[in-house]
Amino acid sequence: MKEVKIDTDYITLDQFLKYVGIVETGGKGKQMILDGLVKVNGNIELKRGKKLRSGDIVVVNGHEFIIL
Query: Which tens digit of pLDDT belongs to each residue from 4-18?
Result: 999 999 999 999 999
Alpha-carbon distance of 62 to 38, in angstroms, equals 10
Q: What is the pTM of this model?
A: 0.91
Please write the tens of the pLDDT for every residue from 31-50: 999 999 999 999 999 999 99
Q: What is the SS3 assignment for 56? A: coil
> Of 27, 23, 5, whose CA–CA distance to 60 is shortest?
23
Read off the CATH number of the domain in which 12 is found: 3.10.290.10
Work out the number of other CB atoms within 10 angstroms of the CB of residue 36: 10
How far are the Cα atoms of 5, 36, 51, 52 from residue 19, in angstroms, in the given order? Answer: 11, 19, 14, 13
Q: Which domain holds residue 54?
A: 2-67
Total domains present in the chain: 1
